[in-house]
Chain A
Amino acid sequence: MSNVTTASTKEAKWWNGGKSPFDVEYGKVMMWYFLMSDAFTFGAFLISYGTVRFSTNGWPDPNKVFKSFPFAPEGVNAPLVFVSIMTFILIVSSVTMVLAVHAGKMMDKKGVVRNMIWTIIGGIAFLSCQAWEWNHLHHEGAWWGMNPFINADGTASTTNFTNFFFTITGFHGFHVFSGVVINIIMLIMTLTNQFEKRGHYLMIEKAGLYWHFVDLVWVFVFTCFYLL
């Protein structure tokens, strides 16, 4: 009997108390759980969008709606170009965030500062792109409750299209904005040596989790609204 117990304790030792069964600190576990709840919120939004789209006979063609580009002449036909730039901005800022987290693990303050600055610049660039796109669509007559676009098959479209687009990209944009604010706070804390004094950069890891989640959500939003 005692033999069996020792064999199984080797397996189950994480649950015997005295330490985290997940082997990460409290804040990181809570950040993961927050991100899960946020994933369910975004999931609910995107699934309701999908449900409404599946229950509607026609839907606008995203390539005819999202086809403009800053500084290009009026009526330019450049589908997917602008949004692909936005996507790459967010991927690159995610990469610089990983590099910042890694520099933090190496206790390399300069590396953290440099990569956090790049991440913040990427976030601001993304928000600027989104602001331009929203402004442009608004000038075309699109807003909550207003849809100037017609369905791909030439029939009249409903305002569901614009309502979902502005609600979901707006909710994502709000997350990007919060992420930029969090990253700026992290940068200030790094510059004032607060993490050096604590002896670890775990806060950067938690901010990094949030920032990657923002990038992750954009993967789904980008695919659902611009490609499908």
Chain B
Amino acid sequence: MSDNTHEHHDVIAEIKKVTIILSVLTIVELILGFWMIGITSPGMRLGIKGVIVILMMAKAFYIVAYFMHLKHELKNLIMTIVVPLALFVWFIIAFLSDGNSFKELRNNYDPHFKEQATIQVKQEEGAHASDEKGGAAHGEKATEAKKEEHH
């Protein structure tokens, strides 16, 4: 019985520790998110986004390893789950670079696509939340759709 309560305290201590780690990681993510609002430099923004992605992976690790208890399972079970999920590394690299290359191709060979990215929408449209402005923005969408059709 005393062995049981000892184990009980260990488990509760681990849950407390992981809760604190997850909260701290989330708070750091949010601080970075708030900090990024004022930053315009693309390189700096990319760096912060990289850090946020690393923190996201850390959070995912703590949830799977401790809350879902995977770290304390047998290695056989860990491998049957983690190895197939490793496919995601390939998926992400392949699809994101493919998307980026599609954008580059269209910017090089589709003048309409490139021009679209330079036309500024008038600032009052979509900037605020009232109904008539929503309607105006919707109308704006309609003209854009027509342009695409024309193209």
A-side residues, CB < 8 A to B, are: 14, 21-24, 29, 32, 36, 39, 43, 47-48, 50-58, 63-64, 68, 74-75, 79-80, 84, 87-88, 91, 94-95, 97-99, 102, 106, 139-141, 146-150, 153-159, 208-209, 212-213, 215-216, 219-220, 223, 226-228
6 tightest Cβ-Cβ pairs between the two chains A and B: A141-B134, A54-B99, A57-B117, A51-B99, A148-B137, A55-B99
B-side contacts of A32, CB under 8 Å: 77, 80-81
From residue A190, how far is it (CB to closest CB) to chain B in Å? Answer: 19
Q: Is the CB of A57 within 8 A of B98?
A: no
The smallest C-beta distance from B17 to any residue of chain A, in angstroms, reads 11
- The answer on a CB contact under 8 Å between A50 and B95 is yes
The reply to whether A84 and B99 form a contact with Cβ atoms under 8 Å apart is no
Q: When the two chains form their complex, are residues A57 and B116 in contact, meaning their CB atoms are under 8 A apart?
A: yes
Assembled-state Cα–Cα distance A158/B121 (Å): 12
A47 → B minimal CB distance (Å): 5
Contact of B19 with A91 in the complex, beta carbons under 8 Å: yes
Measured between beta carbons, the chain B residues less than 8 angstroms from A55 are 99-100, 102-103, 106
In the bound complex, residues from chain A placing their C-beta under 8 Å from that of B77 are 22-24, 29, 32
Contact status A22-B73, CB under 8 Å: yes
CA distance A208 to B70 in the complex (A): 13
Q: Report yes or no: B52 in contact with A156, Cβ–Cβ below 8 A.
A: no
Secondary structure of the B contact surface, majority rule: helix
CA distance A84 to B26 in the complex (A): 8
B75-92 vs A, Cβ < 8 Å mask (1 yes, 0 no):
011001100110010011
Q: A32-B77, A36-B81, A80-B33 are known contacts. Are A54 and B96 too (CB-CB below 8 A)?
A: yes
The docked-state distance in angstroms from the alpha carbon of A55 to that of B102 is: 6
Question: For residue B119, which residues in chain A have a CB less than 8 angstroms away from its CB?
Answer: 155-156
Query: In the complex, which residues of chain A have a beta carbon less than 8 angstroms from the beta carbon of B15?
Result: 95, 98-99, 102
* CA distance in complex: A36, B77 (Å): 12
Chain B proximity of A70: nearest CB distance (Å): 14
Known: A57-B103, A148-B126, A209-B68. A14 touches B74 (CB 8 A): yes
Q: Does B118 contact A (CB under 8 A)?
A: yes
Is B116 in contact with A155, judged by CB distance below 8 angstroms? Answer: yes
Whether the Cβ atoms of B103 and A95 lie closer than 8 Å is no
What residues of B have a CB within 8 angstroms of the CB of A51 in the complex? 95-96, 98-99
Per-position 1/0 for B14-48, Cβ under 8 A of A:
01000100110010011011101100000000000
Find out whether the CB atom of A141 lies under 8 angstroms from the CB atom of B64.
no
A-B contact pairs, 16 of them (CB 8 A): A32-B77, A50-B92, A54-B96, A79-B34, A88-B26, A102-B8, A141-B131, A150-B126, A156-B116, A157-B126, A209-B68, A220-B60, A223-B29, A223-B52, A228-B49, A228-B52
Contact B63 A75 (CB under 8 A): no
Do the beta carbons of A56 and B103 come within 8 Å of each other?
Answer: yes
